[in-house]
Amino acid sequence: MKPEMLEKEHTMFRDAFSKFVEKEIMPNHEQWEQDGIVSRDVWQQAGKYGFLCMDVPETYGGMGEKDYRFSVIVTEELARAGASGVAFSLHNDMVVPYITNYGTEEQKQRWLPKLVTGELISAVAMTEPNTGSDLAGVRTTAIRKDDHYILNGQKTFISNGILNDLLIVVAKTDPEEGASGVSLLIVERGMQGYERGRNLEKIGQHAQDNAELFFRDVKVPLENLIGEEGAGFAYLMQGLPRERLAIAVGSLASAEIVLEETLRYCQERTAFGRPIGKFQNSRFKLAEMKTELEIGRVFIDHCILKYNQGELSVDKAAMAKWWITELLLRVVDDCLQLHGGYGYMLEYPVAKAFLNARAATIVGGTTEIMKEIIGRSLGF
């Protein structure tokens, strides 16, 4: 966010979290990339210092900050540090709000305090091997029987798939229905029949655990239903704009830091007796990227304020997610090219940024789905 978007408490929060990233995350991230998973300790440390679930009411241990800018700061600072494995944004922006907004009082008391402290790590299971963006077409079923549901199905590409202690599962409680048959259920670590598959190998974001999940006759208590039965699709549609905005926020911050690093490189690297930034092609490329990022920054900050006011529309969130993530891909590609052969070396941040960025146009709904959402909002 631009400095003028921040008040004193935001600046203090950013300074504190930036120091946390520098001390607790950056010295360990390379090891986490080798391990394919981050340490649980960093989650508990983040919870200890108040960097998780900032908008959870104080009654349940949170800060009670109904101000999305605090979550934005966490997402931006992790992106600027290249800490692609630390999925705090998934926890803060994409999972916990379902419990805060639709959970019962008993559910909030049971789960929110431990989600705030990082003792519980969360995830959401939407995607299936044969079902991606078509959430109304999920095949995982949760059939009611006595005082519980019998959950059967499979999910894939699930972030925090290995680490999660609390998983929101998108399932059909009425398999004969489409969207109106979808419900959200909480599956907890240790439930019999809930199994984690392999930690999937990806081209980037190596420190983030993405896994296949299997549900074989899992008994899920009725009290683990989030909100109303059959209302899950509506809850997802209300929650996805925040998810997509969070992805756009992180993507823009990633692109901005890559450009900053490339500007420094173009000032220091010489060819034919002068800095490579002095060549017209380099200047034009840098000028184009700087201009597009400035445009993106204005739009994203506008969307952040709209979300804070409860006015961010589904189609505008889709616009942000589509345009900013595609911009990220263009920027990292052009910046890598300006680095020449060094850009292909993983010891240079631009190379990792190039690999990590590729998922941005896919997760949270593909670019094509975002365009479909926008097109429908135009009446087509």
Q: Judge if 269 and 358 occupy the same domain.
A: yes
> CATH number for the domain including 245?
1.20.140.10
Q: Judge if 239 and 366 occupy the same domain.
A: yes
Tell me which of 90, 120, 150 is where a domain ends: 120
Tell me which of 203, 230, 257 is where a domain ends: 230
Q: Judge if 262 and 211 occupy the same domain.
A: no
pLDDT of residue 15: 97
Q: Judge if 137 and 169 occupy the same domain.
A: yes
Q: Name the average pLDDT for the chain.
A: 96
Q: Judge if 83 and 139 occupy the same domain.
A: no
> CATH number for the domain including 33?
1.10.540.10
Tell me which of 77, 92, 120 is where a domain ends: 120
pLDDT of residue 178: 87
Q: Judge if 241 and 371 occupy the same domain.
A: yes
Q: Judge if 226 and 258 occupy the same domain.
A: no
pLDDT of residue 130: 84
**Interatomic CA distance for residues 324 and 251, integer angstroms:** 7
Q: Judge if 215 and 293 occupy the same domain.
A: no
Q: Is residue 96 scored above 80 in pLDDT? A: yes
The string of pLDDT tens digits covering residues 31-52 is: 999 999 999 999 999 999 999 9
pLDDT of residue 43: 98
Helix residue spans in 154-231 (DSSP H): none
Triad 155, 157, 161: Cα angle to 5°: 80
Domain limits for position 64: 3-120
Triad 51, 324, 156: Cα angle to 5°: 65
Which helix (H) or strand (E) segment holds residue 302: the answer is helix 280-308
**Is residue 53 a contact partner of residue 62, using CB atoms and an 8 Å limit?**
yes
Q: What are phi and psi of 94, to 5 degrees?
A: -115, -15
> CATH number for the domain including 136?
2.40.110.10
SS3 89: helix
Q: Judge if 205 and 332 occupy the same domain.
A: no
Q: What percent of the chain shows pLDDT beyond 70?
A: 100
Least confident interval from 133-147, 149-163, 184-198, 335-349: 133-147
Centre a 10 Å sphere on the Cβ of residue 199 and count the other Cβ atoms it contains: 17
The string of pLDDT tens digits covering residues 275-320 is: 999 999 999 999 999 999 999 999 999 999 999 999 999 999 999 9
Domain count of the chain?
Answer: 3
Q: Judge if 64 and 176 occupy the same domain.
A: no
Centre a 10 Å sphere on the Cβ of residue 144 and count the other Cβ atoms it contains: 15
Q: Judge if 8 and 115 occupy the same domain.
A: yes
Contacts 24+ apart (CB under 8 A), 14-21: 14/73, 14/77, 16/49, 17/51, 17/73, 17/74, 17/77, 18/77, 20/45, 20/46, 20/49, 20/51, 21/77, 21/78, 21/81, 21/83
Q: Judge if 216 and 316 occupy the same domain.
A: no
**Is residue 241 a contact partner of residue 101, using CB atoms and an 8 Å limit?**
no
Mean pLDDT along residues 200-211: 96
Active site residues: 243
Give the pLDDT band (50/70/90) at residue 137. Answer: confident
The string of pLDDT tens digits covering residues 319-333 is: 999 999 999 999 999
Q: Is residue 134 scored above 80 in pLDDT? A: no
